Amino acid sequence: MALELKAISATNYPTLGIKETERVCKLIDVSVCIGCKACEVACQEWNDTPVEETYPYTGSYQTMPELAYNFWNLIKFREVELGGSFGWTMAKYQCMHCADPGCLRACPAPGAIVQYTNGIVDFVQENCIGCQFCVTGCPFDVPRLSPKSQKVYKCTLCSDRVAAGLEPACIKACPTGCLQFGTKKQMLEKAMKRVRQLKAQGFSQAAIYDPPGVLGTHAIYVLPHGDRPEDYGLPRDPSVPWIVSLWKGPLKTVGNVVLLGGILTAALHYLKFGPMRAEEKTRG
Amino acid sequence: MTNGWVDIRNSDVILAMGGNPAENHPCGFKWVIDAKKNRGAKLVCVDPRFNRTAAVSDCYVQIRAGSDLAFLGGLINYTLSKGLYHEEYVRLFTNGPFLIKEGFSFKDGLFSGFNHNTHTYDKSTWQYEQDEKGYVRQGPTMQDPRCVLQLLKKHFERYTPELVSQITGASVKDFLRVAEIVCSTGTPDKAGTIMYALGWNHHTFSVQILRAAAILQLLLGNIGRPGGGLNALRGHSNIQGGTDHGVSYEKLPGYLKIPSVQHQNLKDYLKANTPRTLIPTSMNYWGNYPKFFVSFMKCMFGRYANKENDFCYDYLPKIERDYSWVNMFDDMYQGKLEGMLCFGINPVANGPHSNKMLAALSKLKWLVVAECFETETAQFWKAPGIDPTTINTEVFLLPAANFAEKDGSFTNSARWVQWKWKALDPPGEAKADQEILASIFLKVRKLYEQVPGTFPEPILHLHWPYNNPTNPLLEEVAKEINGQALEDLKDENGKIILRKGHQLSSYDQLKDDGSTACGNWIYCGCFTEEGNMMARRGLKDPTGLGMYPEWTWSWPANRRIMYNRASCDAQGRPWDPTRAGICWNGERWVGDIPDYKHDCPPEAGLGAFIWLPEGAGKIFASDLAEGPFPEHYEPIESPVKNILHPGVSTNPLAKTFKSDMDKYGTPDEYPIVCTTYRLTEHFHFWTKHITVNSELQPEFFVEIPEGLAEELGIKNQQEIRVSSIRGSVQGKAHVTKRIKPMEVNGKKVWQIGIPIHWGFAGRVKGPLANFLTPTALDPNCSIPEYKGFLVKVEKV
C-alpha cells in the first residue's frame, strides 16, 4: 500500500489522501510473550541501526534500561506481584503510533514528523532540527536523540516494509505469535477474542490496551492484568502533555495574535518614524 | 523426542521440567502456545528458577536443583495410589503384568546384587521370571506381588507428598497442585506430554530421571499417542544427528554398540548384542541386529568386508572401559595422550572443571582445533592465570566453515532429518569439516602406504568411494548413510525387488550376508532412488495432526510418532478418535507410518514396542547400571544427606575422579546449591563472538535470591564472587525475586543460578561458569553433573 500523508509537523496544510486507507496495527499479546528478544534483533537487523560495542549489564534480563536512538524496540522485564501471585512480565515497548501523536503536535520543524493515512507516525530526519520537543510531546517517552547526528529517532513501524506490503520486521521474527499485524479492525477483533479466552482462563481483568487519551494507538496490547498496565511498563492513561496541547492549542492562537500585533506595531512604527539608523560609535 | 515439535499442539497437559523450552527453544515453544490458546492446554513448569517458561505457565513450582527424581517419584506414587493410571494401556502395552524373579529386592538405597567392593551390580535377580522355553511369565491381572506393577507400587509408596516436599523444597500444597494437573491425563480422552532437556540430563543419576518420566508416561498411557510422549529438547541444531551417528564413544552409527574386549569375534559380538525374543509373538526388531551391523561394516570397508573375515570385525577397536570425553581429559591430565583433534567442541568452556581441562590440554604435545572462531580451547595457552611460556603444546587452529557455509542435514529434536543448502562460501581459507577430515585422512593413509605401520589395514581398507576424495560431497555421504544394494535383492519368490547398485528404500531390505551396505540403518530411507527425501518440503497433512509426512524425512521409516501402536486399543481403535495417530481399517494400519507391521492385524501380538524383545514398554528395566527402578539419590555435592537412606546418599555407581585436581565440596564450607544454564539470547559458547547477541546479554551475571542477597548484604549489580572447591568466578549480582528460599528436610537452603556463555575468548568476555562444576559422571552415559553442585557466595 502506498503511503499517503495525513498530517505534517509544523504545517497548516492538511494533506488528504484521495482514497480511504485502512489503518494498520501491531498487536502485542503479552500473555504469550516469552521475552526471547527476536523482535529486538529483527528491528536492529532490518533498520541497520548501529550497535554500540558494549552496553553494561542492566541488573535484569532487559537489554538496556530504556529505548535508545539506535534501539527502537525493547522488551521490558519486570518482577511483579500480579493478581495475588508472583509474575515476571515481558512486554515489548516501542513507538505506539498514536492516532493523536503528541510528537507531531509538538514538533516545530516543518515536515520532520509525518503521519500517514494508514496510522504510521514517521520521523523524517533530514527535516529534524534536534530540538527534542517531540520527546516532551510523547506520552510514552519513546523518541531518542542521537548524540552524533543530533537528530531524533524511533520505530517507524517499518513504514518501508509496510509500504511494500510486508509486515514489520519484529512481527516477522516473533516465534510465538505474540506479535501480529494487520488492520486495526482485524487486530482489535483478535485482541477481543484473546481477552475473552484469558477471562475464561481466570484472568478476570484481561483487557486491550488502546489508550483513548491519544485517540487510540496503532500498536495495541492484550494485557492479562489489564487493570495494571504499569506492571507491563505502560502508562496508565497516556495523553498528549498539557504543555503541548496548550502551546499548540489556545496558546498558538494567542501567540499568533500577539505575533500579528507585533508585526503590525512594527509596520506602523516604520511608517511613522522611518528606518532606524545605527549611530556611529566613536572610534577609540 | 518420541513425538515431535508440532505434535505438542495436540497436548492437554504439558509438563516442562528439567528444561526451559521458552528460553532455549523459543521457536518450538510456539506449539506450546498453540496448545494453550487453541486447546486450553495447561502448561506446568517445575524448575529451580522462575524462568521464561514459568512466566507463561499456568502452574509453576520451584524445586531444589538435583531433586527432580524425587518429585517424579511423588507423581508416580500419586498416580498409582489414587488409581489414576490407564489400567488397560498398562496391561496391554507395558511390562506391568510381567513377573520378576524371586530374589529381586530393594533395601536401604541398594537393589539386590550390589557388590560393595567393585560398586557394580550383578543383575541376575533383575530379570523376568521365564518359563521352560525362555518366555516371560505374566500375571495378566497385575495383582501378583511379584509382577512389575505391584513391585513398582511398593517401590514408590515411600514417595509421599510430604517426603517429596522434604527432599525437593516444594511445599506439599505446590506438589499436589502439579500432581493434580499432570496425573489427570491417565484417561483415553486426555493426552499429556513432557518436555525436558539438560536440567534432567546434567546429573549423576540423569538416566534414572528420564526413566522415572518414562514410567510416569507409560502409567498414564501417554507414550505413542498424539499429544503425548516423552520429549527431549536437543540443545544444538544437529546434536540429535550427532547422537544418531555415533559421536558417543560407546556407540556406532544407529545405536549399534562399539565392541568390547570380551567379544573378540563377530559371532560373540552379535550374540551379545542381538536380543532373544521374550514373548512368542513379539516382533523384537532389534533381533535384526546382525543385518544392521553387517551392512554398516560393508559401508565402512566395502569389498574388503566379507563373510570369511567376519566382515572386518577385527578392524574395529574393542573397548574395555569408559572412554567418554571427561575420562579422556582425565587421561590427558595424567599425561597418557599425546595429541588431540578437536572438531565441533570447545572442551575448555564446556568443562566440567574448566581448570582441569586447561591443565589437561597443557600436557599435550599437539592440539588441532578446527573452528570458525578462536575458541577458549584454541587459545587455552593464554587463559587467565596461565603463563604462555610454560606451555609446550603446539596448537594448530584450522579455520572451519560454519553451518551456513556447507550443505548437509540437520536432525532436529523431532528426528526430522532436514536437508539444508549452503548459503554462502566460507571466508578466506576456511574449509568445511569434511574437507579438513578427508585431507588429514588421505595424508595419513599415504603415510601408511609409504611406511609400514602397525595394523595398517583399517586405514588402508577404509571404503572411500567419493568422486573428489579430498572433498567428498555431502550428498554422496548421505547416499552412503542411506545405503544401497550390492547385489540384486530378491523377495522369497525370487522376484527382484531392488537392482544392484540402487539405493535402499527401507531398513527392512537390509541383509546380514553382505549384499547390502548401509552407513546408519535408522537413516535408511532418507536418500532413496526417488532422491533426497530430506530435501522434501511438502505441506500435506492428511491426519490433520501436524505430522506433515512429506516435509523432509524423519527416522525411523519417516514415522512421526514412535510407538504409535500404543495410541490404539487392543482392537486397533484409537484411544481418542479426535487424535488418531494410526488406526486399523480391517486390512492395514492407516495414518502415521505404523510402529507395527503395516498389514498385521492388531491382535497379532507383535507388541506395541516392537523394537524390544518383550514387545512392551519397560516400567522395569534391567538395562541400567544402578537399578531397574529409579531411586532418588542426592547429587555428589549436596546440602543434605539423602533422607530415604542416609547410608547410600549418592548414586552408588556415580563416577568421580581421584587426581589432585578433582575435589568435591561439602555443605559446611559450600552451603549454597548452584545450577548452570543457557540464556535465550545466546547460543552455547558461540555467540559471544557475535555483536548483536553480545549486546542482548552483555555481561556475565549470577542470579541470586533476594533473601540471600539481604543476608550477605549484596545489592543488585554489585560485584560478587562465587566459589566452589574447584574454582571461582566473579561478576555482577542479579538479585531476583524469582528464586525463593527453600526448606529441605527442615534446613533452610538457598540456590543460585549461573548462565554459561562467557569466557576469555570473544567480543565480550567474562568468567566461564564451568570453573565451578564438578567432575562427577552418570554411570550410564557419563554425563557430568553441571547442575546441583555446591558453592559459596561473597561480596567482592
CATH of the domain at B87: 3.40.228.10
Instruction: Say whether both B135 and B154 belong to one domain.
Output: yes
CB B399 within 8 A of CB B378: no
φ, ψ of residue B539 to 5 degrees: the values are -110, 15
Least CB–CB distance from A32: residue in B56, B696, B736: B56
Tell if the CB–CB gap between B695 and A88 is shorter than 8 Å. Answer: no
By three-state DSSP, how is residue B151 classified?
helix
Instruction: Say whether both B96 and B201 belong to one domain.
Output: yes
Q: Which residue of A has its CA nearest to B764?
A: A54
Residue A148: count other Cβ atoms within 10 Å of its Cβ.
9
Return the pLDDT at A82.
81
Type of residue found at B63: I
Q: Is residue B47 part of a domain?
A: yes
Q: Is residue B758 part of a domain?
A: yes
Q: Kindly state the average pLDDT of the residues B576-591.
A: 96
Residues 101-130 of A with CB under 8 A from B: none
> pLDDT higher for B353 or A56?
B353
Return the pLDDT at A283.
52
- Per-residue pLDDT tens for B754-776? 999 999 999 889 999 999 999 99
DSSP structural state of residue B404? G
Least CB–CB distance from B699: residue in A53, A57, A194: A57
Q: Kindly state the average pLDDT of the residues A215-230.
A: 96
Type of residue found at B354: S
Q: Which residue of B has its CA nearest to A90?
A: B55
CB A180 within 8 A of CB A190: yes
Q: Looking at beta carbons, which residues of chain B come within 8 Å of A175?
A: 26-27, 29-30
CATH of the domain at B728: 2.40.40.20
The contacts found for B337-340 with CB under 8 angstroms, 24 or more apart, are B337/B363, B337/B364, B338/B364, B338/B365, B338/B366, B339/B364, B339/B365, B339/B366, B339/B367, B339/B368, B340/B364, B340/B366, B340/B367, B340/B368
Tell if the CB–CB gap between A54 and B33 is shorter than 8 Å. Answer: no
Return the pLDDT at A284.
43
Return the pLDDT at A280.
58
CATH of the domain at B500: 3.40.50.740
Given pLDDT bands bounded at 50, 70 and 90, which one contains residue A58?
Answer: confident
Flag whether pLDDT at B133 surpasses 60.
yes
| CA-closest candidate to residue B351, choices B731, B789, B779 | B789
Q: Looking at beta carbons, which residues of chain A come within 8 Å of B54?
A: 88
Instruction: Say whether both B463 and B517 belong to one domain.
Output: yes
CA B700, CA B679: separation in Å to the nearest integer? 11
Tell if the CB–CB gap between A36 and B696 is shorter than 8 Å. Answer: no
Instruction: Say whether both B180 and B260 belong to one domain.
Output: no
Return the pLDDT at A17.
61
Return the pLDDT at A246.
75
CB A130 within 8 A of CB A269: no
- Per-residue pLDDT tens for B636-650? 999 999 999 999 999
DSSP string, B194-229: EEE-HHHHSSTTHHHHHHHHHHHHHHTT-TTSTT-S
Residue to test with chain A: of B9, B27, B681, most A Cβ within 10 A? B681
Domain of residue B374: give its range.
238-276+287-412+415-533
Instruction: Say whether both B227 and B246 belong to one domain.
Output: no
Instruction: Say whether both B69 and B48 belong to one domain.
Output: yes
Spatial CB neighbours of A141, under 8 Å, sequence gap ≥ 6: A66, A67, A135
Least CB–CB distance from B695: residue in A38, A61, A63: A63
A68 shares contact with chain B (CB less than 8 Å): no
Instruction: Say whether both B172 and B215 belong to one domain.
Output: yes
By three-state DSSP, how is residue B144 classified?
coil
Tell if the CB–CB gap between B30 and A63 is shorter than 8 Å. Answer: no
CB B704 within 8 A of CB B734: yes
Least CB–CB distance from A34: residue in B22, B679, B764: B22
Q: Kindly state the average pLDDT of the residues B348-356.
A: 96
Burial call A83-115: b when 16+ CB within 10 Å, e when fewer: eeeebbbbbbbbbbbbbbbbbbbbbebeebbbb
Q: Kindly state the average pLDDT of the residues B369-374.
A: 96
Q: Which residue of A has its CA nearest to B700?
A: A57
Size of interface A-B (CB pairs under 8 A): 93
Q: Which residue of A has its CA nearest to B58?
A: A201
Q: Is residue B435 part of a domain?
A: yes
Q: Is residue B463 part of a domain?
A: yes
Flag whether pLDDT at A211 surpasses 80.
yes
DSSP string, B238-302: THHHHHHTT-STTEEGGGEEPPBTT--SHHHHHHHHSPPPSSTT---GGGGHHHHHHHHHHHHHG
Residue to test with chain B: of A27, A31, A36, most B Cβ within 10 A? A36
Return the pLDDT at A100.
95
Flag whether pLDDT at A282 surpasses 80.
no
Tell if the CB–CB gap between B736 and A79 is shorter than 8 Å. Answer: yes
Spatial CB neighbours of B468, under 8 Å, sequence gap ≥ 6: none
Q: B753 to chain A, minimum CA–CA distance in Å?
A: 13
Q: B681 to chain A, minimum CA–CA distance in Å?
A: 7
A215 shares contact with chain B (CB less than 8 Å): no
Q: Which residue of B has its CA nearest to A177?
A: B30
Return the pLDDT at B73.
98
CA distances from B162 to A229, B74, B178 (A): 39, 9, 14
Q: Grid coordinates 548384542 are at which residue?
A: B273
Tell if the CB–CB gap between B698 and A87 is shorter than 8 Å. Answer: no
Q: Is residue B44 part of a domain?
A: yes
Return the pLDDT at A262.
84
Return the pLDDT at B714.
97
Between A55-64, A84-93, B382-391, B438-447, the lowest mean confidence (pLDDT) is in A55-64
Q: B687 to chain A, minimum CA–CA distance in Å?
A: 13
CB B673 within 8 A of CB B701: no
Query: How many domains is chain B partitioned into structurally?
Result: 3
Return the pLDDT at A12.
76
Q: B356 to chain A, minimum CA–CA distance in Å?
A: 29
- Per-residue pLDDT tens for B172-210? 999 999 999 999 999 999 999 999 999 999 999 999 999
Q: Which residues on neighbouring strands pair with residue A90, listed in sequence order?
A: A77
Q: Is residue B617 part of a domain?
A: no
- Averaged confidence pLDDT in chain B: 97
Return the pLDDT at A240.
87
Flag whether pLDDT at A86 surpasses 50.
yes
Domain boundary among B501, B533, B565: B533
Flag whether pLDDT at B255 surpasses 60.
yes
Q: Looking at beta carbons, which residues of chain B come within 8 Å of A232?
A: none
CB B227 within 8 A of CB B12: yes
CA A170, CA A158: separation in Å to the nearest integer? 9
Return the pLDDT at B211.
98
Instruction: Say whether both B225 and B295 belong to one domain.
Output: no
Spatial CB neighbours of B384, under 8 Å, sequence gap ≥ 6: B760
Flag whether pLDDT at B423 surpasses 90.
yes
Least CB–CB distance from B717: residue in A59, A61, A197: A59
Q: In angstroms, how far is the first alpha carbon of chain A from the final one?
A: 70
Tell if the CB–CB gap between B29 and A59 is shorter than 8 Å. Answer: no
Tell if the CB–CB gap between A55 and B764 is shorter than 8 Å. Answer: no
Q: Which residue of A has its CA nearest to B731?
A: A57
Q: Of all helices (H) and strands (E), which one includes residue B598?
A: none
Query: By percentage, how much of chain B surpasses pLDDT 70?
Result: 100
By three-state DSSP, how is residue A6 classified?
strand
Least CB–CB distance from A40: residue in B696, B763, B764: B696
Instruction: Say whether both B732 and B755 belong to one domain.
Output: yes
Q: Looking at beta carbons, which residues of chain A come within 8 Å of B681?
A: 37
Cα B708 to the chain's mean position, in Å?
34
Return the pLDDT at B29.
97
Tell if the CB–CB gap between B716 and A59 is shorter than 8 Å. Answer: yes
Spatial CB neighbours of A32, under 8 Å, sequence gap ≥ 6: A176, A177, A178, B33, B36, B37, B56
Flag whether pLDDT at B265 surpasses 50.
yes
Domain boundary among B533, B558, B574: B533
Q: Looking at beta carbons, which residues of chain B come within 8 Å of A54?
A: 694, 698, 764
Given pLDDT bands bounded at 50, 70 and 90, which one contains residue B452?
Answer: confident
Model pTM?
A: 0.95
- Per-residue pLDDT tens for B714-764? 999 999 999 999 999 999 999 999 999 999 999 999 999 999 999 999 988
CA B255, CA B245: separation in Å to the nearest integer? 8
Q: A205 to chain B, minimum CA–CA distance in Å?
A: 16
DSSP string, A178-227: -EEEEEHHHHHHHHHHHHHHHHHTT-TT-EEE--GGGT-BSEEEEETTTT
Q: Which residue of B has its CA nearest to A224?
A: B56
CA B562, CA B4: separation in Å to the nearest integer? 9
Q: Grid coordinates 521374550 are at which residue?
A: B278
Spatial CB neighbours of B239, under 8 Å, sequence gap ≥ 6: none
Type of residue found at B424: L
CA B260, CA B249: separation in Å to the nearest integer? 12
Tell if the CB–CB gap between A59 and B732 is shorter than 8 Å. Answer: yes
Q: B37 to chain A, minimum CA–CA distance in Å?
A: 8
Q: Is residue B269 part of a domain?
A: yes
Q: Looking at beta carbons, which residues of chain B come within 8 Å of A52?
A: 695
Query: By percentage, how much of chain B surpasses pLDDT 90?
Result: 97
Instruction: Say whether both B302 and B176 belong to one domain.
Output: no
- Per-residue pLDDT tens for B501-516? 999 999 999 999 999 9
Q: Is residue B379 part of a domain?
A: yes
A41 shares contact with chain B (CB less than 8 Å): yes
Domain boundary among B482, B512, B533: B533
Given pLDDT bands bounded at 50, 70 and 90, which one contains residue A56?
Answer: confident
Between A44-53, B10-19, B654-663, the lowest mean confidence (pLDDT) is in A44-53
* Joined grid coordinates for residue B769: 561458569
Q: Is the interface score ipTM higher than 0.90?
A: yes
CB B336 within 8 A of CB B318: no
Instruction: Say whether both B339 and B393 belong to one domain.
Output: yes
Return the pLDDT at A15.
63
Instruction: Say whether both B167 and B269 belong to one domain.
Output: no
Tell if the CB–CB gap between A40 and B37 is shorter than 8 Å. Answer: no
Least CB–CB distance from B52: residue in A34, A52, A201: A34
CB B631 within 8 A of CB B643: no
